[in-house]
Amino acid sequence: MEDTGTGPVDRLLDTLAHDPRVAWAQAIQDYHGLADGDPLLPVQPATRAWQLPALHRASTGRGVTVAVIDSGVDANHPDLDGQIKLRRNFVDAYPDGAEAHGTAVAGIIAAREGNGLGIAGIAPGAKLLALRACWETAGPPARCNSFTLGKAINFALMSDARVINMSLGGPRDRLLEALLDAALA
């Protein structure tokens, strides 16, 4: 039915709802699609706090290589499809597998934008070096040591990574400080 404007819509709906021939009556509701085709974009803290859509109009990280030094990254994750330039494992001799912390960090950085899945990364145009220098345990999200981190940072430097991301904390370490000083230089 179309409202003719002859009276309040609520009164018309109430009258219809009380008619025994009518199962129910309601006004038509308006809905909108989720922004940029990424279903979880509206709930991403960065969408609002960092004004992610405006940020992406200015820059998407296109042409930038980001070294993600963390636990293993799931190369088969649909939001990371085509985003991983290469993977290396500095923890052990096994092929690195998918681990939650490394995959989450990689997604925050470079999840594909507008693909109808999950989230949008801060820099969806960037390519990732997924460098496994940490391993997941039952306790903290991931553990690393100076040796595995040092190898991964050195690899990132030798691979001309423009950004090195390490989402971790720990004590001061002279080796890591020297490598990070070299990265800053």
Q: Which amino acid is at 100?
A: A
Instruction: Please tell me the predicted confidence (pLDDT) of residue 135.
Output: 86
**List of domains in the chain:** 39-184 (3.40.50.200)
Q: Which of 47, 51, 39 is nearest to 78 (CA)?
A: 39
Flag whether pLDDT at 170 surpasses 60.
yes
Which range, of 3-12, 126-135, 141-150, averages the lowest pLDDT?
3-12
Question: How far, CA to CA in Å, does 135 sit from each of 60, 69, 80?
Answer: 29, 11, 20
- Evaluated on CA atoms 6, 8, 10, 14, the torsion sign reads negative
- What lies within 8 Å, CB to CB, of 58 at 6+ separation is none
Instruction: Please tell me the predicted confidence (pLDDT) of residue 38.
Output: 62
Is the pTM of the predicted complex or chain greater than 0.85? no
Task: Report pLDDT digits (tens) over 10-44.
Answer: 888 888 889 999 887 766 544 322 334 566 767 77
Flag whether pLDDT at 176 surpasses 60.
yes
